[in-house]
A and B are shown apart, each in its own frame.
Chain A
Amino acid sequence: MIRFDDVSFTYAADAPVVLDHVDLTIPEGDLALVIGPTGSGKSTLLGAICGLVPRFTGGVLAGTVAVDNVTTSNTQPRDLASIVGYLPQRVDDSFVTDVVEDELAWTMEQLGLPPDVMRRRVEDTLDLLGLAELRGRPIATLSSGQRQRVALGAVLTAQPRVLVLDEPTSALDPQAAEDVLAALTRLVGDLGLTIVCSEHRLERVVQFADSVVIVDGSGAITHGPPDAQLADSPVAPPVIHLGRSLGWDPLPRSVRDARRLAAPLRSQLPPEPPNRHPAGAPGADPVLVADGLAARYGDLVALRSIDLTLRPGEVVALMGRNGAGKSTLISTLGGGRSPDAGRVRIGGHDPRNLRGAEFLRRVGVVPSDPTLLLSATTVSDECADADRETGTPPGATAAALGRLLPDVDPAAHPRDLSAGQRLGLALALVLAHEPDVVLLDEPTTGLDYRAKEALATWLDELSGRGAAVLMATHDVELVAEVAHRAIVIADGEVVADGDAADVVTHSPTLAPQVARILHPLPYLTVDDVVAGLEAAP
């Protein structure tokens, strides 16, 4: 269905090769998963399938890419639209209409489908993706996860035979991600769709994949069955890491497989993991206090009376389904919007009154669209600016970036970086000078496992030195790794606030993979298990 014949691609003559003599064939009806480190060229590969690369990105593509025997080099992307549906990584700029329902119908309008077919498909898709309640809502008022589903729905309604999805679940809460993936696999099964999908959160997708394409950043790619491809890939979900460290063969891909293999392990492990990290500095005065915060957008209530405190040395995860109010809360706490009721105090000050260096010293915020933080023309200028403004020693921000993502080209323009690299840069800009309070909105979207690991270690160190961290995230594995406390909000209210391990293990949708495998034992990460085994008699 999709064929790459000796394809090479570079963005500029003197730039590194992104794809180097790639041959790839994806048969009809396959769900192929594209994985690889941040910035390795996954999005480029996907863009080449639908013709956006090189037509909209620039660069030189050699060789032949064919989809359903149509060569993309002599066909405009718009003429491929009936065959290929494409979901971009950043969906925000891709909306063509203002209202959910219109957006779902738009591609069909272009393809000239009759109105009654359009209506039926719009209704089906609204149900399939759980969007029925949002049908008349302006897209601008949706949360990022809801937007992601609308964008996916807009691709699905046209019923193309090939779906190219760039991180389709990165902005989704665990339950929504499961629903979306279930819907996709059903489409593969029922309609014989071919799906090519890139994803960093392998734990969500890998069990559905028929084959795995690994893009390693050198320009070469490998393609093969998931088991063989993942056996020694550095990019792997926790279930595979667990299998590897315990020497299981064959490696389990799903929690279900692993639970069968883990029966003896459950009886062997002690009832509590031995190395649970201590929960911040108890007794210290809270550094951030929020009383009765409320926020609304027009008629839509985003937050109703939220009370929250952060103590120094604490890493707190903020969880909740898409549209629950997480981003609004982060933005309100950082002073980005004034609350409609209640107040925020950071170190005794209203964050809206803090300015310049004083603000930077006390608060670091990474918003959900990190691109907005970037303004210089090269990565190294951006880092140097941050060093100067925050008063850190020269080079500190660049070193921080290197810690997260060692391969970012310092001479690159920030807008040319991949989405994950831009996020890494934004994190470095905000974290390098170690502010008292760190507020992060989805700090792992587009980051590979290695970068996530580095971020987790770093947050752990920061909290060890007395910083308070609040991160809104859907990434339960990250929560399991670093968070001391977890707060779950729903519909603008706090519904759970407590020890992270308790909160995540008590909810089947929030539980990380290891916790599901070892349920009811309260183990959250592979490291917990390894330490537990060492401590076991």
Chain B
Amino acid sequence: MTATATARVDPLSDAGHPGAWWIWSLLVASVALRTTNAVVLVAVVVVTTQVVVARSDPASPWSRIQRYVIGFAVIVGILRLGLVAAFGPRTPGTVILTLPTVDLPGWMAGLTVGGPVTTGALFTGIIESLRLVALLSAFTVAPSLVSPHRTVRALPDGVAELGIVTTVALTVTPAAAQHVRRLAETRRLRGRPHRGLRGLRGSITSVLEGSFDHALTLAASMDVRGYGGHRPGEDPARRRTAAGLLVAAVVVGSMGAFVVLGGSGSRGVGVAAMAAGGALVVLALRGAAKRSTRTRYRPLRWTGSDWVLVGGGTAALLGGLVQARVAGGALTPSTNPPELPQPAVLTLAGLAVAFGCAAFSGGRQP
């Protein structure tokens, strides 16, 4: 009886394990972090959006997350360009236009308003904005593909202690995407503009209220149904230790990642911190899993296609790393004078492998 009960495969497993998608997303995002090559950045955007197109269920509200976030990133990028032009530091380069300068009082020395806008400033601004779009596009692959419920379900037991926080963190964005859609419909019923910017302006508060409401109600529902509850014979002190360990692990690991990816500071220290953080996470989760009394009705399976996904992500990462070692110049072309980006062949090849693995490793999301 027990054997047949657990042997039934999760009907959704073909769609990929949530964890595999998150790993893929983060690995591809790391490529965008390490380059200012416009060709590579555009390739990241194309790859990540096409994966969502290929694998998402178009009827699900969260499949729109990537679209919304990219739209948001484009708006931010344009604003940023405007700000760079108006307040930016005097970057050397060919002057393409000169804005009228405003004389500021003496105590605001160091800040300039207006003045010449150079190609250097402009190109740096464009590349930075493009990088933001590429990063967010990569980060939103997992949330656009995997239902927030499945993500929460796939969380390791150790995280259950951080119940409400994780639930809200993981479900607010999908809930917002859902609300945007439903609010457009109900605003029409109130005879209000419901499309375009005017519609958006009127509904931002409602969307935020609605999505937080949803996330909190969900957290309450999970709590009242026993999520992360104590079971008889458990030692509360050990639970607290495990939760503390997990938080420490995440902090140490993130600091390490910051040092490594930011390219500042000692790379050795960064890698060591990342490794230590990773080890701590594994330790905390293992301890939690050992204590856990939670059982699984139909366990989410980590299948072959999940390894393919992780492999694809790793290929993208390796492509970037090897490229940096072999011909690093291609990853950071000069912006002054503007230089035509060289095709960073190895990085692009890595991205192509990542795309192939993600787009064809399984069926559409249910």
Residue numbers of A with Cβ under 8 A of B are 50-52, 55-56, 76-82, 84, 86, 88, 90, 93-99, 101-102, 105-116, 118-119, 122, 136, 138, 140, 154, 158, 297-298, 334-336, 355-357, 359-360, 365, 367, 369, 371-373, 375, 386, 389-390, 415, 429-430
Contact = CB atoms under 8 A, between A and B. Distances in A.
Contacts of B221: 88, 93-96
Chief secondary structure at chain A's binding surface: helix
B190 A373 contact: yes
Contact of B186 (A116, A355, A373): A373
Nearest to B218: A93
Interface string B134-151: 000000000000010110
Contacts of B203: 375
Contact of A81 (B150, B214, B225, B295): B225
Contact of B296 (A77, A109, A369, A429): A109
A312 to B, nearest CB: 21
B220 A56 contact: yes
Contact of A356 (B149, B191, B202, B295): B191
A154 B186 contact: no
B225 A415 contact: no
Contact of B147 (A98, A105, A367, A389): A98
Contact of B294 (A94, A97, A109, A369): A109
B294 A110 contact: yes
Nearest to A351: B188
B217 A51 contact: no
B188 A111 contact: no
Contacts of B186: 367, 372-373
A119 B224 contact: no
A110 B297 contact: no
B230 interface: yes
B84 interface: no
B224 A78 contact: yes
B197 interface: no
A379 to B, nearest CB: 15
Contacts of A369: 182
Contacts of B294: 109-110, 112
Contacts of A113: 295
Contacts of A297: 59
Chief secondary structure at chain B's binding surface: helix
A372 B231 CA distance: 39
B213 A93 contact: yes
A50 B224 CA distance: 7
A355 B225 contact: no
A115 B297 contact: yes
B229 A78 contact: yes
A116 B182 contact: no
Of listed B149, B186, B213, B297, residue having the most chain A CB within 10 A:
B297
Contacts of A360: 190-191
A52 B213 contact: no
B226 A78 contact: yes
Interface string B201-245: 011011001100110111111111111111100000000000000
Contacts of B150: 97-98
Nearest to B10: A102
B339 interface: no
Contacts of B206: 375
B191 A81 contact: no
Of listed B150, B190, B228, residue having the most chain A CB within 10 A:
B190
A72 B221 CA distance: 16
Of listed A359, A386, A390, residue having the most chain B CB within 10 A:
A359
A56 B294 CA distance: 24
A94 B227 CA distance: 13
Interface in B172-192: 182-183, 185-192
Of listed B2, B224, B366, residue having the most chain A CB within 10 A:
B224
B188 A98 contact: no
Interface in B112-155: 147, 149-150, 152-153
A116 B7 CA distance: 11
A107 B225 contact: yes
Contact of A115 (B5, B153, B227): B5
B205 A375 contact: yes
A158 B226 contact: yes
B295 A112 contact: yes
B6 interface: yes
Nearest to B163: A78
Nearest to B205: A375
B218 A98 contact: no
Of listed B188, B228, B296, residue having the most chain A CB within 10 A:
B188
A98 B220 CA distance: 17
Q: Nearest 3 CB-CB pairs, A to B?
A: A81-B226, A105-B297, A112-B293
A102 B209 CA distance: 28
30 contacts: A56-B220, A56-B223, A78-B227, A78-B228, A79-B226, A81-B226, A81-B229, A88-B221, A94-B218, A94-B221, A96-B152, A97-B149, A97-B150, A102-B298, A110-B227, A110-B294, A115-B296, A116-B2, A118-B295, A138-B366, A158-B225, A298-B59, A335-B188, A336-B185, A356-B193, A371-B210, A373-B186, A375-B203, A375-B205, A390-B191
